[in-house]
Amino acid sequence: MSVIQVNQLSKHFGALKAVDGLSFSVNQGEVFGFLGQNGSGKSTTIRMLLSLIHPTSGSIELFGKSLEANRTAILEEVGAIIERPDLYPYLTAKEHLQLFAKLRSKKITNANIDNTLVKVGLMDRSKDKVQSFSLGMKQRLGIAIALVHNPSLIILDEPTNGLDPQGISDIRNLIQSLAREEGKTVLVSSHLLSEIEQMATQIMIIHKGQKVAEGPIQKLLDPTKMIVHVKTTNDAQSLQVILSGSFSNYLLQRKDGIYLRIPDYEIPLLNASLINAGVGLVGVETRNSLEDYFLQVTSNTN
């Protein structure tokens, strides 16, 4: 079942096409990683999903219903945190959840509030005022506010902002638990690509408002097509060798060195070709991370 269905979504600000013909779907129980560089259109897309801004064109369906026609009912089942939560410094953590609980039509008990505070690791600070909280603790409270009404769909924009390594690990485990054990759907945007790689079941990458990659991480990061960084004493000569043969099909347009996306069984042939041409080969470094893939697809789209 598709919880999110986006079709040909666009948002223009004058001549700027912030989002341009974007289509994607997110199924129930998925952790969906939503990635893009600054200015790629991620935040604009998320704001349209939350009905904070209206699309120029295209459609959004949540839970199989039009967001435009069923906004109030749909948003009762959505929890979200966008970048940095707006909080009240003179209220405690628990008072925040009590306040936001009153804004919901669902009945939210004191036990529900305490359980949410436990989930995000703030129960021992529940009676402390937010003005004494660190950035990471405020971020945890923002996530608690997004979860307090037990939503079916959770949209998190940079949820680990300001957290230390242990806090990042805790939130990653929480997100995975929400999907795996409670069947919730989570769309999460983050600059920490290593975290998305560990938690997401599906990812989508957008660049300049358009989708440039989408699918399961295991499929996108195909181990038979490794990203290889070739280090030599003469890059100009190395490029000539690569461009003169079949390896040119694997060459990636990168400004920070010579990179190829190449089947693993061809790496020894690449090494031999360079050595036979008299290139001073320093090393061939293989990579197959989401960060490398992200840099590849966004740097090749101009």
Residues in the chain: 302
Q: What pLDDT score was predicted for residue 292?
A: 75
> For the chain, which residues make up each domain, given as ranges?
2-217, 225-299
β-pairing verdict for 281-287 and 225-232: antiparallel
Dist CA 42 CA 166 (whole Å): 26
**Low pLDDT (below 50) residues in the chain:** none
User: Residue 12 in contact with residue 161, Cβ under 8 Å?
Assistant: no
Any alpha helices (H) in the chain, and if so which ranges?
42-49, 71-75, 93-102, 110-119, 135-147, 165-180, 193-199, 217-220, 235-243, 267-276, 290-299
Q: What pLDDT score was predicted for residue 221?
A: 76
Q: What pLDDT score was predicted for residue 84?
A: 76
Q: What pLDDT score was predicted for residue 31?
A: 96
Q: What pLDDT score was predicted for residue 288?
A: 66
- Residue 39 token pair: 């200015």
Q: What pLDDT score was predicted for residue 227?
A: 80
Fold type of domain 2-217: Rossmann fold (3.40.50)
Q: What pLDDT score was predicted for residue 295?
A: 78
Q: What pLDDT score was predicted for residue 57?
A: 97
Any alpha helices (H) in 163-212, and if so which ranges?
165-180, 193-199
Domain range 225-299, its CATH number among 3.20.20, 3.40.50, 1.10.10, 3.30.70: 3.30.70
Determine phi and psi for 48, rounding to 5 degrees: -70, -35
